Amino acid sequence: MEMLEILATTANGAFVVDSDHRIIYWSRAAQDLLGYEPQEALGHPCHQIIAGRDRSGIRVCYSNCLDMLAARSGCAIRSHDLQTRAKDGRVDWISGTSFFVPATNGDPASDRNGNVARIRNGDASKVILVHVFQDVTADREKEEVGVQILSALKRLSSLEGTMVGSSALPPLVAQRLSRREAEVLSLLCAGTSARAIADQLIISLPTARKHIQSVLSKLGVHSCLEAVTYVSNAARDRTLGQGAFSS
């Protein structure tokens, strides 16, 4: 089968599913990315191996999935990202594209690596679904960090008075820092970069970075995101405490 030779040349993972949702081809790249050897994947329903979930954690791999329904209807299949679990248990994100081709009768075919596509006779009137995917876990993790940073900044900015200046930091935080460090932390909470902090405080970039490291050390955190979250939590606790006393 020429298609298998084409799939075998890509560094992206590839697998082929028959009309019964069973995997009939599993490429070497798919094995490298997810850990399953061909004999462990072939013949199994694809939703059992991939078990994909969307960004909300909702399972999207199941019998009669949307991809297969689209293929049977002759409709285009949209690309999407899925959260899956590799053989060793780690959670990976994969970005995949899919297309369908008519199933053909004939003997099992193999690619250049010897991986066999178990195509059964009698499937000529049906379709087979081809999935090609790549690992995008690193990109997804970067996106998640960005979301966490934005979330922490939004929580912090929603608390009245916490973004005015260094004197507006929660007392339990400010008392642990020097005046300059408090100014640096306030700017970090406003989403200011190290270079922008240096420019705004008229200090060198190495000095700004030194102040940032000192702030992280004194707060017992390991990143600017953790520092912002620390201030956000302290400010929230302070606000809740004031509300309790005022009542």
User: What is the residue-averaged pLDDT of the chain?
Assistant: 79
Fold of 141-246: Arc Repressor Mutant, subunit A (1.10.10)
What span, in angstroms and rounded, lies between the C-alpha atoms of 116 and 98?
20
Quickly name the fold that domain 2-135 has: Beta-Lactamase (3.30.450)
Containing H/E element for 26?
A: strand 23-26
pLDDT band at 76 (very low <50, low <70, confident <90, very high): confident
Query: Which ranges in the chain are annotated with CATH 3.30.450.20?
Result: 2-135
Q: Are 94 and 81 in contact (CB under 8 A)?
A: yes
Q: What residues contact 234, with CB distance under 8 A and at least 6 apart?
A: 170, 172, 173
Location of each CATH 1.10.10.10 domain in the chain: 141-246
Q: Tell me: pLDDT of 107 over 70.
A: no
Mean pLDDT of 1-29: 86
| Mean pLDDT of the region 7-28 | 89
Element (H, E) at 64: none
Q: Which one-letter DSSP state was computed for residue 19?
A: T
Burial zone of 24 (CB within 10 Å; 0-12 exposed, 13-18 middle, 19+ buried): buried
Mean pLDDT for the stretch of residues 169-179: 87
Q: Is the dihedral of CA 36, 42, 45, 46 positive or negative?
A: positive
pLDDT of 93 reads 92
